Structure 1
Amino acid sequence: MRTTKIAEEIESLPVEAQKEVIDFVAFLKTRYPVVRTIRKHRQTKLSDEPFIGMWRGREDMRNSVAWVKSLRQREWGRRL
């Protein structure tokens, strides 16, 4: 039976019977809970993430501590 047909059938009932239908549906929902299948997102290894290695080949990034120090000196030196 189609959903629209079911709705029409319920609407044709007296108000009290419609309330009973609603109560019965609520009862059925508790008796037969919807089991939702949860798709497990495939865990990607961190080493396979696209951002890993994006600085590879950059000579200025070989020594990241020196790079940050140099950057800070340039940026903060302008403000002094």
Structure 2
Amino acid sequence: MATGWAGDGAVQDQIDATIKDAIQRARSQLPQGPGRERCEECDAVIPEARRKAMPGVRLCVPCQEAHDQEQDAFAGYNRRGSKDSQLR
């Protein structure tokens, strides 16, 4: 089957690169360093169980949920473009 300019396995290479980018982005957002005993947004006490489960935690659960929802609003785009957009 003719693939034009794309080499064999180009589609799989693109999938692998997309997954690698997503993993790298997720790892970069993990908290690092010492955790906090109080939330840096609302100053609520962060329970010890949460601090043990998430080393480097900086936000309480409600503030973390609000932060995650903000991040979800900007996620989900495909910077490489869809196949349909490339064919136009």
TM-score (norm 2): 0.28
| Structure number with bigger Rg | 1
Higher relative helix content: 1
TM-score (norm 1): 0.30
Larger RCO (CA within 8 A; separation ≥ 6): 2
